[in-house]
Structure 1
């Protein structure tokens, strides 16, 4: 897995023409859907996304930078809309980050995350501490505080490795506002650490892990699938280097999910 620096990731052009996008979907063996701001708003599945999934009931996966929930949450939300999405086809940055943390095998881990993710980390065998950690794991934490910021900054300054769920700064809410994401918390930590911070590792999009996990779960090669997302910095920039075609909705081209479901 790649280490990440603080430079912006360049992104390639995405498909934003409705006719071309519908043809690409028709030709694809599998569809990958971003969740927040794309397939769902405020965790409510969008009707057009449900229609696209229903047309490919065994050939779609969720590929999300969400770091707040486990796989079952998404399966339940889709089941309530008549869509069967088994957990193995729900690929999440939060869960994959915890799996990566376990792979690194630290003796002591400082985890900044939602309570449900703390529970998941403990079930995976991570020893969670607040002082002298070897590893700092940053997910979306709605209880983020000055005290937590102080712990994380000083741990990283002392040499603890920093593992980040995703670089997203925000995601849209149902009220048209934005909800701060993991990347906003990361910016605060990096500001506190100061110049010369060691490179940190990002697990979620745009890095390849989530895309490759989804293709593996569906039994397809990346070039035979298409990613449908709304964020050029994560969905497009991550998909393009793998040969995944990416359809960008709600971007400058004005393409919407409703256009794709017609």
Structure 2
């Protein structure tokens, strides 16, 4: 559905939601990245204007587990998006911070990019190639059979499995599909069935809570804008934030943020009845 004029007010369990347009109700925004602002090296229509209008009042919360905030900020700036590293909350980085805070003396095996490997070393984490206490699985474009065999051995020997994010794919340029961390996770779980995976990225609360901390706002004052109902919308509703979705899915409020900018949509606060509120990823 395309929300260009005001739709009927949504209904919450305790009655109709008499809420004005999302732009009047929002003091800050938590924005998704892939599929919302960019697709690979393509900037999605309206992204530049949205960031300009909400300058200083947004954070980008992404399940990206390849980049660091510093490297991604440079890439976005090269695309003409004026995003500072301090406005980026990324699943890979935040997973490493989580381990550094809660498991500082653990031996870590990190399946991830060279950037994340260097970031882990900078946090003082002990990164090992065997006998790990924790295995952290992130998006690794060099993932291969040897890596799968190594991770399988570590989990079989009792290592705890943490995962930066559970997405199977993310949108790429020209409608392409980019394999994500969740696809690697499925291969690993096929080898070690019954393993419990602690997935730290969206829709889990950790990244959203960091976004709220950086905005210094309460959940009711923040709107989440994303493209995935099972990560962006589900995570928003769990913490009491309103949400809006863009894209070409049946649950989208607008095809892109360009159409959303001047739309009179009220924020949504509950998931559609046909959406499963589980550990599902697209």
Instruction: Specify if TM > 0.5.
Output: yes
- CA separation of 1:155/1:106 partners in 2, compared to 1, >3 Å: closer, same or farther? farther
Q: Secondary structure at the match of 2:126?
A: coil
Structure 1 unaligned spans of 5+? 1-14
Which residue does the alignment assign to 1:51? 49
Is residue 2:85 matched to residue 1:92? Answer: no
Which residue does the alignment assign to 1:204? 201
Q: In the alignment, which of 32, 37, 40 is matched to residue 34 of structure 1? A: 32
Q: Distance in 2 between matches of 1:76 and 1:220?
A: 27
TM-score (ref. length: structure 1):
0.87
Which residue does the alignment assign to 1:6? none
Q: Distance in 2 between matches of 1:193 and 1:16?
A: 43
Q: Is the 8 A contact 1:16 1:249 kept in 2?
A: no
Q: Distance in 2 between matches of 1:25 and 1:159?
A: 49
Q: Distance in 2 between matches of 1:232 and 1:247?
A: 9
Root mean square deviation, CA, Å: 2.0
- CA separation of 1:100/1:111 partners in 2, compared to 1, >3 Å: closer, same or farther? same
Trace 1:30-179 onto structure 2 (pairs within 5 A).
Answer: 30-80=28-78, 83-103=81-101, 104-179=103-178
Q: Distance in 2 between matches of 1:86 and 1:246?
A: 23
Shift of 1:107: 3.4
Q: Is the 8 A contact 1:45 1:78 kept in 2?
A: no
Q: Deviations over 1:95-139 (max 9, x none)?
A: 001111212124321110011111111111122222111110000
Q: Distance in 1 between matches of 2:44 and 2:105?
A: 40
Q: Is the 8 A contact 1:106 1:135 kept in 2?
A: no
Q: Secondary structure at the match of 1:210?
A: helix
Shift of 1:172: 1.3
Q: Distance in 2 between matches of 1:154 and 1:55?
A: 50
Q: Distance in 2 between matches of 1:130 and 1:140?
A: 18
Q: Deviations over 1:181-217 (max 9, x none)?
A: 00000111111002x32x2211110001111111110
Is residue 2:235 matched to residue 1:249? Answer: no
Q: Distance in 2 between matches of 1:20 and 1:94?
A: 38
TM-score (ref. length: structure 2):
0.81
Q: Secondary structure at the match of 1:133?
A: coil
Q: Distance in 1 between matches of 2:91 and 2:43?
A: 19
Q: Is the 8 A contact 1:227 1:239 kept in 2?
A: yes
- CA separation of 1:131/1:74 partners in 2, compared to 1, >3 Å: closer, same or farther? closer
Q: Secondary structure at the match of 1:175?
A: helix
Q: Distance in 1 between matches of 2:183 and 2:60?
A: 23
Q: Distance in 2 between matches of 1:28 and 1:20?
A: 17
